[in-house]
Amino acid sequence: MIKYILRLTEDERAMLRAVVNKGQAAAQKIKPANILLKIDADGPAWSEAQAAEAFGCCLRTILSIRQRFLENGLEAALERKPRTPPPRERILDGEGEAHLVRLAGLTPPEGQARWTLHLLAERLVERNVVETISRQTVMRTLKKTN
């Protein structure tokens, strides 16, 4: 296992203290800032176990914050790691969304006073825009585009 030794510069310490002392940053930024300040070899030099206990997190969290800081810099250590692939593919791409918005702008079918989410979902399937789609997805998409 590689032992990462963390040494903060004065500028980095000042920036981290500002994040912690302002208290206006998101909690997900304040906690790593506190951790980095405490495990600094030229500062309090807490052990990983001490920091994990003090901040109520697991040892792996401390190690990964330290590693992200040393490999990618201060901003990377304070931010959450971005998710590369989305958890599931989008049902409607840009073209499908445009089709839905266009459809919702048309006059409703005969016998209907207005478009319902169910009707819009059915129409998208009928026109082979998607294989299946839920009313909730139609609602979220319309809400996002308005």
Length of the chain: 146
Task: Find, among 45, 59, 35, 34, the residue nearest to 5 by Cα.
Answer: 45
Tens of pLDDT, residues 47-77? 999 999 999 999 999 999 999 999 999 999 9
| Gap between the Cα atoms of 88 and 119, Å rounded | 25
Cα dihedral 134, 135, 137, 139, rounded to 10, equals: 180
Name the token pair of 71: 């490999």
pLDDT at 2 over 70: no
Taking the complete model, does pTM exceed 0.75, yes or no? Answer: no
